[in-house]
């Protein structure tokens, strides 16, 4: 494990807020890249369906660790994984694309690359003005009308693969969302 992976892992497991966040706001519309580097409107991936959006990063160990859990959730709810791309220009996406292709067989839900998480951070910040960061993994639960009914930041399972309170809160929110 290199230094960046270690720091990202520490940030994702220790420094992120551990509370569930109720939002009830429309989910922002923006474009993402699919694995073929084609720009698509994210809304086409979830419109009219109850959806869990997982925002993750390739250096986030908890994000990778939770792939089997999200695969399982995908059997009950539409799951979309948005991998944050730290590079700003398409030629630099190669590292992220190669990584996603390596784990492609492990991910059994929809996936895309997100270049700019500003719309998501804006939504998060509107509800939580004291938060000055956007951590990974972050989850947004959308109802069938595309309203964000719940969000949480931080890992869903701990290092021993036990459920955290975040997972219990998320499961509860999924069961209550139309």
pLDDT at 155: 86
pLDDT of residue 161: 77
- Asked whether residue 70 carries a pLDDT value surpassing 90, the answer given is yes
Length of the chain equals 178
Residue 165 near residue 130 (C-beta atoms within 8 A): no
In the block, residue with structure tokens 């109850």: 50
CATH number at residue 146: 3.40.30.10
Q: Quote the CA–CA distance of 4 and 50 in Å, as a whole number.
A: 34
Q: Each residue of 4-43: pLDDT tens digit?
A: 433 333 333 333 333 344 467 788 888 888 777 788 888 8
Number of independent structural domains in the chain:
1
- H/E stretch holding 54 reads strand 51-56
Question: Average pLDDT for residues 113-139, to the nearest whole number?
Answer: 76
Residue ranges making up the domain that contains 71: 3-176
């Amino acid at each position: 494990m290199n230094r960046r992976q270690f720091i990202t892992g520490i940030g994702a497991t220790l420094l992120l807020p551990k509370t569930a966040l109720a939002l009830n706001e429309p989910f922002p519309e923006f474009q993402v890249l699919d694995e073929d580097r084609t720009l698509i409107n994210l809304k086409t991936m979830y419109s009219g369906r109850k959806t869990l959006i997982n925002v993750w990063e390739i250096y986030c160990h908890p994000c990778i660790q939770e792939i089997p859990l999200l695969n399982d959730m995908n059997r009950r709810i539409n799951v979309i994984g948005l991998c944050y791309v730290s590079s700003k220009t398409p030629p630099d996406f190669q590292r992220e694309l190669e990584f996603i292709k390596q784990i492609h067989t492990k991910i059994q839900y929809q996936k895309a690359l997100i270049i700019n998480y500003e719309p998501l951070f804006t939504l998060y910040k509107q509800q939580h003005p004291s938060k000055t960061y956007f951590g990974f993994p972050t989850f947004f639960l959308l109802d069938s009308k595309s309203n964000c009914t719940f969000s949480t930041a931080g890992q869903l399972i701990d290092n021993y693969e036990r459920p955290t309170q975040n997972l219990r809160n998320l499961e509860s929110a999924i069961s209550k969302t139309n």
